[in-house]
């Protein structure tokens, strides 16, 4: 359940830690209720709406884990070596295996059904073949090289819990246990918009005082990587309260989440807050102790979740990743949180102002004796800078209270993907 929010828009509230702000954003988010049934082929990355039970035992029958010979251990009495005649041949997919005649072995291949009566498979490498007989000198133990029916997953056992994302291995598990389709939550509908009279799209000439829109493609591309989201791009809106108001009202009606960039600080030309207030949104202006990042607006607008990200691109990227994305994951129905940071050490010196958790673009070319990346800092921390983040291999997390970082200082780094 989303917590009711008091309208704190524009009021000065306490500064929240990044973790507290994230919790607040997640608390406002509610999972989409609708589900759809998809074949496995269409379901990669989607979020399971209900637990799934195995429709077939995995594996469905006792089978051989090796190419070799199936035998009865009771036939290996006394001291070896032992010699057994080969009474049948069983390949994967064979349906005609007979029960194993006492005192004989069956030639068997990986994945083939274990004949009734056999209780071990000896690897072919451990056997000498003499015509239609085998000789073995090492004893076997019961069940050796036999994959038992249901040992991976019993018939009817839970294969996956609700709220997990369907990764390729999880899809393989479902297929292996006979599940052809899954109920997943429908995709989260996200509308994005950029605000600013100064913005132009690349490909168009820049008028004096204009800049190119970086946030639009950044947010679009970020969302395009989330298989459980679909994006509507509302383009650039001018700094005009009426235009913004009409656009966000329409966006909130057809979407689960609306994300804007720019226009959320207290500057005169920052109309997002006015427009949201006029639309009677329940808002929280979060003063987050984060760098880069400005006040971040989180709230509910009609039935949808609203994120007003800062306009500066690096700040927009960081606040999206740290605060909006966890809330979006909850809307998607995900119950697992990724935990993809690595322990690292600083390879740089940095004197800084304390009080805010800082996200620093970093790269590394070597690791220390413990295997930790030795980080080099990129850029000077400017929230408008794009070049450092574009070159970064990861984002180092600087704790709020550290006033100086020396080489060797342990730090966490969040590794950026491709």
- Nearest Cα to Cα of residue 359 among 409, 326, 324, 316: 316
308 near ligand AMP, rule: CB under 6 A: no
Report CA-CA distances (Å) from 316 to 12, 98, 354: 21, 67, 21
Smallest separation, CB 262 to Mg ion (Å):
4
Nearest residue (CB) to Mg ion, 175 versus 269: 269
Residue 263 or 373 with smaller CB distance to Mg ion = 263
Beta strands in 155-294 (DSSP E): 158-160, 181-185, 188-195, 199-200, 211-212, 229-237, 257-261, 282-288, 290-291
Between CA 280 and CA 301 the distance in angstroms is 7
d(CA 121, CA 138): 12
Stretch of 6-14, 181-189, 202-210, 255-263 lying at the interface with Mg ion (CB under 5 A) = 255-263
Binding mask 216-245 for ligand AMP (x = CB under 6 A): x-----------------------------
Asked whether the beta carbons of 283 and 5 are under 8 A apart, the reply is yes
196 forms part of the interface with ligand AMP (CB under 6 A):
yes
Please list every residue from 124 through 143 that binds ligand AMP, using CB under 6 A: none
Residue with tokens 């004893």: 139
Q: Is 295 in the site for Mg ion (CB under 5 A)?
A: no
Question: What tokens does 319 get?
Answer: 């606040």
313 belongs to the binding site for Mg ion (CB under 5 A): no
Q: Does 198 bind ligand AMP (CB under 6 A)?
A: yes
> Which residue number has the CB closest to ligand AMP?
311
Residue 196 in contact with Mg ion, rule: CB under 5 A:
yes
Quick check: 292 binds Mg ion (CB under 5 A)? no
Residues 269, 271, 273, 275: what is their CA dihedral angle, to the nearest 10 degrees? Answer: 160
Strand boundaries in 255-398, DSSP class E: 257-261, 282-288, 290-291, 296-301, 304-309, 341-346, 350-351, 357-367, 373-377, 394-398
CB of 295 to ligand AMP, least distance (A): 9
Residues in CB range of 49: below 8 A, 6 or more apart: 35, 162, 183, 184, 185, 333
Structure tokens belonging to residue 26: 């997640």
Q: Tell me which of 80, 139, 202, 267 binds ligand AMP, using CB under 6 A.
A: 267
Which of 313, 347, 381, 394 touches ligand AMP (CB under 6 A)?
313
Q: Which stretch binds Mg ion (CB under 5 A): 47-55, 167-175, 261-269, 377-385?
A: 261-269
| Binder among 59, 115, 163, 262 for Mg ion (CB under 5 A) | 262
Q: How far is Cα 116 from Cα 81, in angstroms, rounded to an integer?
A: 24
Name which of ligand AMP, Mg ion, none residue 283 binds, using a CB cut-off of 5 to 8 Å depending on partner kind. Answer: none
Instruction: Tell the smallest beta-carbon distance from residue 182 to ligand AMP (Å).
Output: 37
The smaller minimum CB distance to ligand AMP, of residues 373 and 388, is found at: 388
In the shown chain, the binding pattern of residues 155 to 194 toward ligand AMP, with x for contact by CB under 6 A and - for none, equals ---------------------------------------x
Q: How far is the CB of 294 from ligand AMP (least distance, A)?
A: 6
Q: Given candidates 63, 104, 177, 213, which one binds ligand AMP under the rule CB under 6 A?
A: 213
For residue 322, the partner it binds in ligand AMP, Mg ion, none, with Cβ less than 5 to 8 A by kind, is: none
Report the residue from 63, 214, 231, 260 that binds ligand AMP according to the rule CB under 6 A.
214
Instruction: Measure the CA–CA gap between 260 and 262, rounded to whole angstroms.
Output: 7
Chain mean position to CA 197: 36
Sign of CA dihedral 102, 107, 113, 114: positive
Instruction: Please count the helices (runs of H) and the strands (runs of E) in the chain.
Output: 8, 29
Q: Compare residues 75 and 233 and give the one whose CB is closer to ligand AMP.
A: 233
Which residue(s) pair with 223 in the sheet?
Answer: none
Nearer to ligand AMP, 228 or 314 (CB): 314
Site string for ligand AMP, 381-410 (x = CB under 6 A): ---x--------------------------
Measured between alpha carbons, how far is 199 from 218 in angstroms, rounded to an integer? 14
Report helix, strand or coil for 360: strand
Question: Which positions touch ligand AMP (CB under 6 A)?
Answer: 194, 196, 198-199, 211, 213-216, 261-265, 267, 270, 310-313, 384
Question: Which positions touch Mg ion (CB under 5 A)?
Answer: 196, 262-263, 311
């Amino acid at each position: 359940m989303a917590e009711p929010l008091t309208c704190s828009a524009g009021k000065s509230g306490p500064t929240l830690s990044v973790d507290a702000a994230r919790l607040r954003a997640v608390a406002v988010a509610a999972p989409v209720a609708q589900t759809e049934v998809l074949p496995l082929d269409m379901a990669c990355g989607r979020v399971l709406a209900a637990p799934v039970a195995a429709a077939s035992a995995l594996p469905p029958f006792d089978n051989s884990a090796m190419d070799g010979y199936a035998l009865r251990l009771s036939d290996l009495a006394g001291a070896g070596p032992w010699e057994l005649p080969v009474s049948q041949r069983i390949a994967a997919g064979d349906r005609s295996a007979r029960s194993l005649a006492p005192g004989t072995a069956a030639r068997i291949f990986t994945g083939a059904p274990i004949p009734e009566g056999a209780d071990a498979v000896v690897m072919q490498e451990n056997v000498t073949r003499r015509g239609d007989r085998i000789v073995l000198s090492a004893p076997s133990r019961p069940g050796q090289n036999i994959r038992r029916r249901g040992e991976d997953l019993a018939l009817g056992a839970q294969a996956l819990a609700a709220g997990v994302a369907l990764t390729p291995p999880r899809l393989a598990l479902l297929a292996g246990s006979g599940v052809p389709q899954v109920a997943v939550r429908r995709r989260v509908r996200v509308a994005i918009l950029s605000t600013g009279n100064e913005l132009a799209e690349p490909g168009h000439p820049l008028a004096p005082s204009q800049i190119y829109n970086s946030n639009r493609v950044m947010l679009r591309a970020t969302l395009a990587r989330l298989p459980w989201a679909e994006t509507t791009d509302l383009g650039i809106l001018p700094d005009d309260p009426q235009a913004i108001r009409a656009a966000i009202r329409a966006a909130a009606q057809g979407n689960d989440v609306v994300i804007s960039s720019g226009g959320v600080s207290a500057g005169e030309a920052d109309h997002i807050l006015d427009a949201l207030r006029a639309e009677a949104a329940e808002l929280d202006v979060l003063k987050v102790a984060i760098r880069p990042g400005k006040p971040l607006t989180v709230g509910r607008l009609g039935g949808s979740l609203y994120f007003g990200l800062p306009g500066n691109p690096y700040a927009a990227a960081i606040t999206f990743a740290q605060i909006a994305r966890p809330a979006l994951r909850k809307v998607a129905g995900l119950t697992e949180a990724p935990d993809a940071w690595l322990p690292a050490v600083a390879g740089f010196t940095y004197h800084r102002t304390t009080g805010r958790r800082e996200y620093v673009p970093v790269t590394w070319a070597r690791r220390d004796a413990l295997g930790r990346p030795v980080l080099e800092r990129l850029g000077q921390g400017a929230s408008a800078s794009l070049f450092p983040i574009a070159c970064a291999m990861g984002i180092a997390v600087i704790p709020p209270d550290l006033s100086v970082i020396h080489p060797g200082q342990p730090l966490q780094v969040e590794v950026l993907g491709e």
